[in-house]
């Protein structure tokens, strides 16, 4: 049985990946500060509550039991917050990762799956965006993820690490049984914002710009189901048994969906109207962004299995039955 240490495993994507790992027979231990994660999301999975910058804690974790690989989800991830407080993001996202990688090296653990982001690309020069696209982050959040990738690449060159960096697009959806989902009431992502607007637990949905050169005039983005994303992490872990160094992979549906398409699908699923306010375009919003996922298909054997309907249906099932998120 392979033993995986999952950092940030009490968060949205981490907790659903933990569940899938355990269903597949992996032994899992989670480290999470619980600052933004939820113990209730883990069920009976083993949890060590603590900060990755606690070097003594990390050494105790790695010395107390054999660990074969690390999946690293722990990070702050709000773009706006990172712009307002960049130092906090660099201290947490870079500092925590550096401490973790050093502890892995001391313990002789070499396999690493990293939760990265398509924000490393910035505003794209072309779509679909492939892994060869220039990286120009436009926020401290995106910059912090890119800097970690630079560290991983050099560690891979030195022979110290086998790593996969997974660059997510817009993650959405919930577990199939409706018992796990995105719990943060502060999430800036479109689908949770739409759900809160429908339920009256948040403001009306603001649609920024209806005059883009798209079929319905609104921006187009790529949405990937969280279940598909969890599956990709396991495939990346298996890939590390075959490869040395760092490989980066885009993870998205490979298809573009407009803001109004999301809105209409949410209305269909919920049977309710979405309160909407229309506003001018926001500066810097690209017309359309979606992923080229051919590399993940070729090397990992992965592609998204769930479309927009399943994303919105599972999101509605979760948000409508858990309006307050997890109860600690």
pLDDT one-digit tens code per residue, 12-67: 999 999 999 999 999 999 999 999 999 999 999 999 999 999 999 999 999 999 99
Which pLDDT band, with edges at 50, 70 and 90, does 197 fall under? Answer: very high
pLDDT reported for residue 326:
84
Which pLDDT band, with edges at 50, 70 and 90, does 141 fall under? Answer: very high
pLDDT reported for residue 328:
55
User: How far apart are alpha carbons 262 and 192 in whole angstroms?
Assistant: 11
Q: Which residue has the tokens 């509605």?
A: 316
State the alpha helices, DSSP H only, in 139-270.
140-157, 190-199, 226-239, 259-270
pLDDT reported for residue 241:
81
Phi/psi at 315 (nearest 5 deg)?
Answer: -65, -45
Task: Give the residue numbers marked as catalytic.
Answer: 141
Spell 314-323 as b/e; 16+ CB within 10 A means b: bbbbbbeebe
Give the CA distances from residue 239 to residues 110, 230, 234, 242, in Å, rounded to whole numbers and listed in that order. Answer: 13, 14, 9, 5
> What percentage of residues in the chain have a pLDDT greater than 70?
98
User: How far apart are alpha carbons 201 and 324 in whole angstroms?
Assistant: 9
Domains of the chain in sequence order = 3-172+223-251 (3.40.50.720), 190-222+254-321 (3.90.25.10)
User: How far apart are alpha carbons 167 and 233 in whole angstroms?
Assistant: 11
**Residue 211: pLDDT above 90?**
yes
- Model pLDDT for residues 107-117, shown as the tens digit of each residue: 999 999 999 99
Task: Supply 308's token pair.
Answer: 């927009």
pLDDT reported for residue 1:
64
**Mean pLDDT, all residues of the chain:** 95
pTM: 0.96
Count H helices and E strands in the chain, helices first. 11, 13
Give the CA distances from residue 290 to residues 81, 131, 170, 265, 270, in Å, rounded to whole numbers and listed in that order. Answer: 24, 12, 9, 19, 26
What average pLDDT score do residues 128-137 get? 98
User: How far apart are alpha carbons 144 and 7 in whole angstroms?
Assistant: 17
Which pLDDT band, with edges at 50, 70 and 90, does 323 fall under? Answer: confident
**Residue 89: pLDDT above 70?**
yes
**Residue 106: pLDDT above 70?**
yes
pLDDT reported for residue 92:
97
What average pLDDT score do residues 267-287 get? 94
Which pLDDT band, with edges at 50, 70 and 90, does 325 fall under? Answer: confident
**Beta-carbon contacts of residue 298 (< 8 Å; ≥ 6 apart):** none
């Amino acid at each position: 049985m392979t033993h995986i240490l999952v950092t940030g495993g009490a968060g949205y994507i981490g907790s659903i990946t933990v569940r899938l790992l355990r269903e597949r027979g992996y032994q899992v231990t989670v480290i999470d500060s619980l600052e933004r994660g939820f113990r209730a999301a883990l069920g009976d999975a083993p949890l060590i509550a603590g900060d990755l910058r606690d070097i003594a804690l990390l050494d105790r974790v790695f010395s107390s039991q054999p660990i074969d690989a690390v999946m690293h989800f722990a990070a702050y991830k709000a773009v706006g917050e990172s712009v307002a407080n960049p130092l906090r993001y660099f201290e947490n996202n870079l500092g925590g990762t550096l401490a973790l990688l050093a502890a892995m090296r001391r313990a002789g653990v070499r396999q690493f799956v990293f939760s990265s982001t398509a924000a490393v690309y910035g505003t794209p020069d072309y779509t679909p965006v492939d892994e060869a696209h220039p990286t120009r982050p436009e926020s401290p959040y995106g910059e912090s993820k890119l800097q970690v990738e630079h560290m991983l690449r050099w560690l891979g060159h030195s022979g110290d690490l086998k790593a996969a960096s997974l660059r997510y697009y817009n993650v959405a959806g919930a577990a199939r049984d409706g018992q796990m989902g995105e719990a943060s009431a502060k999430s800036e992502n479109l689908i949770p914002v739409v759900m809160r607007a429908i339920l009256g637990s948040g403001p009306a949905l603001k649609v920024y710009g209806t005059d883009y050169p798209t079929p319905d005039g609104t921006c187009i983005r790529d949405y990937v189901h969280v279940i598909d994303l969890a599956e990709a992490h396991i495939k990346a872990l298996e890939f590390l048994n075959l490869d040395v160094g760092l490989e980066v992979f885009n993870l998205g549906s490979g298809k573009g969906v407009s803001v109004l398409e999301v809105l209409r699908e949410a209305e269909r699923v919920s049977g309710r109207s979405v309160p909407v306010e229309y506003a001018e375009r926001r500066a810097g919003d690209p017309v359309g962004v979606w992923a080229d996922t051919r590399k993940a298909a070729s090397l990992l054997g992965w592609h998204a299995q769930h479309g927009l309907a399943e994303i919105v249906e599972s999101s509605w099932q979760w948000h409508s039955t858990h309006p307050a998120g997890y109860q600690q």
